[in-house]
Amino acid sequence: MTDLSGRWAGVYFYPVDAEFNPYDDLPPTPFEAQIRDAGGEVTGSTLEPDTLGPPGAPPIPARLEGHHFDGQLVFTKFPDGGGQTHSIDYIGSISTDGNSIAGRWVIHGDWSGTFRMQRKPAPVNAALEVAATA
């Protein structure tokens, strides 16, 4: 089983929607994620800009909880800010090398879109520390 622990960078996309995005002009939203994987049980956090808030709005942190099995990652994101009071469910396919994930997000009863994320390389200092302790 692939260990998904580590730092990830991603982006999610809004769908065309008659009420919320009729002109398909909502920007793609980048995010950073820190994931902890304990035998397929996944927890962690994300941070993303508040692209729908006023200029200068603080970034939106969120916690995530979920699992992965048989090449699929399923998690729920719980935002804490930006006026968001809903949870968002994600389901994505994990690449065979375990370094990318792509799929869909859903706010039940509201709308859904797509996302993708890539594993970020470990910082050089962390690699040196691991080599020094080996």
Report the CATH number at residue 49. 2.40.128.120
Residue 131 confidence (pLDDT) above 70: no
The answer to whether residue 126 sits within a structural domain is yes
- Tell me the percentage of the chain whose pLDDT exceeds 70: 92
Residue 105 confidence (pLDDT) above 60: yes
The answer to whether residue 1 sits within a structural domain is no
The answer to whether residue 97 sits within a structural domain is yes
- Summarize pLDDT for 6-47 with one digit per residue, the tens: 999 999 999 988 888 888 888 899 999 999 999 999 999 999
The residue assigned the tokens 């006026």 is 83
Give the pLDDT of residue 129.
57
- Summarize pLDDT for 67-102 with one digit per residue, the tens: 999 999 999 999 998 777 789 999 999 999 999 999
For the chain, how many structural domains are there in total? 1
Task: Determine the Cα–Cα distance for residues 67 and 49; give it in Å rounded to an integer.
Answer: 25
Residue 108 confidence (pLDDT) above 70: yes
The answer to whether residue 106 sits within a structural domain is yes
Task: Determine the Cα–Cα distance for residues 107 and 110; give it in Å rounded to an integer.
Answer: 5
Domain that holds residue 115: 6-133
- Summarize pLDDT for 12-21 with one digit per residue, the tens: 999 988 888 8
Give the pLDDT of residue 16.
87
Give the pLDDT of residue 100.
98
